[in-house]
Amino acid sequence: MTQAFDLSGKVALVTGANTGIGQGIALALAAAGADVAAAGRTPAAETVEKARALGRRAEIISADLSTIEPVGRVVDECVDRLGAIDILVNNAGIIRRADSLEFSEADWDAVIDTNLKSVFFLCQAAGRRMVARHEAEGVRGKIINIASMLSFQGGIRVPSYTASKSGVAGLTKLLACEWAAKGINVNAIAPGYIATNNTEALQADETRNRQILERIPAARWGSPEDMGGAAVFLASSASDYVQGHVLAVDGGWLAR
């Protein structure tokens, strides 16, 4: 069974891998044997250094995913530098907070473009490579999108984020329906409340922090490392019959 989770010889492209959830997932995939391309606006130097310390090949790919302009290049660079793209993790994302009565079009567009539009077109670019390789060599591709608790719930003061992450869940299911028979598994991870820079405002808000902790059965915020096991499972042959699933890794948040 251990062999089913072995990613030796695989190449993973992870967006937003410089810190937080993206870094935790990239390093978990590297620990399981995968070589890693870390793509994003901020160079993931620490992530790449740690992946190389595990004996893996690792590369930084510079890309501002607030637009789809670099999408094709990102996938091409991954293949050119590391020889393939077996796994895509769409983690890069942003959040903007304001009351819905005051929410701006600029904040709406910025979040939707990064969190949903770029995710789809990265899936498309990687999917084309994966389908062609499956047809030629029988190798399966794995796509893992990063959803959210707000893929299931409404949240407050984050309308574009909620819309984008609800869209990610729907997109994951659609692509699974289209690509399952073409050799690609498309699934998503929905992190619970994870201690990262994206949640600093919530952690610093004494009232909201207390309310959040009171609801989590595990009685703690999650860490980026908590995402690693789920990512390795969904990236490995152990999940070959898992399609279109949104896996909550939330300390029990949704169960309560």
Does residue 207 belong to any structural domain of this protein? yes
Tokens of 136: 């030629």
Digit-coded pLDDT (tens) for 141-191: 999 999 999 999 999 999 999 999 999 999 999 999 999 999 999 999 999
CB count within 10 Å of CB 8 equals 10
Q: How many domains does the chain have?
A: 1
pLDDT category of residue 199 using cuts at 50, 70 and 90: confident
Neighbouring residues of 90: CB distance < 8 A, sequence distance ≥ 6: 15, 119, 122, 123, 143, 144, 145, 146, 168
Does residue 123 belong to any structural domain of this protein? yes
- Whether the CB-CB separation of 89 and 15 falls below 8 Å is answered with yes
* Amino acid (one-letter) located at 54: L
Q: What is the pairing mode between strands 35-40 and 58-62?
A: parallel
What predicted TM-score, i.e. pTM, was given to this entire model? 0.97
| pLDDT score of 1 | 55
Digit-coded pLDDT (tens) for 34-49: 999 999 999 999 999 9
Instruction: Find the CATH number of the domain harbouring 6.
Output: 3.40.50.720
Mean pLDDT of the region 179-204 = 94
Is residue 97 scored above 90 in pLDDT? yes
Does residue 6 belong to any structural domain of this protein? yes
Which of the residues are catalytic?
Answer: 161
| Residue 96 backbone phi and psi in degrees, to 5 | -130, 135
Give the residue numbers spanning the domain of 16: 2-249
Q: Which of 80, 92, 110 is nearest to 47 (CA)?
A: 92
| pLDDT score of 183 | 98
Q: How far apart are CA 13 and CA 151, in angstroms?
A: 23
Does residue 166 belong to any structural domain of this protein? yes
pLDDT category of residue 102 using cuts at 50, 70 and 90: very high
| pLDDT score of 198 | 76
Q: What is the residue-averaged pLDDT of the chain? A: 97
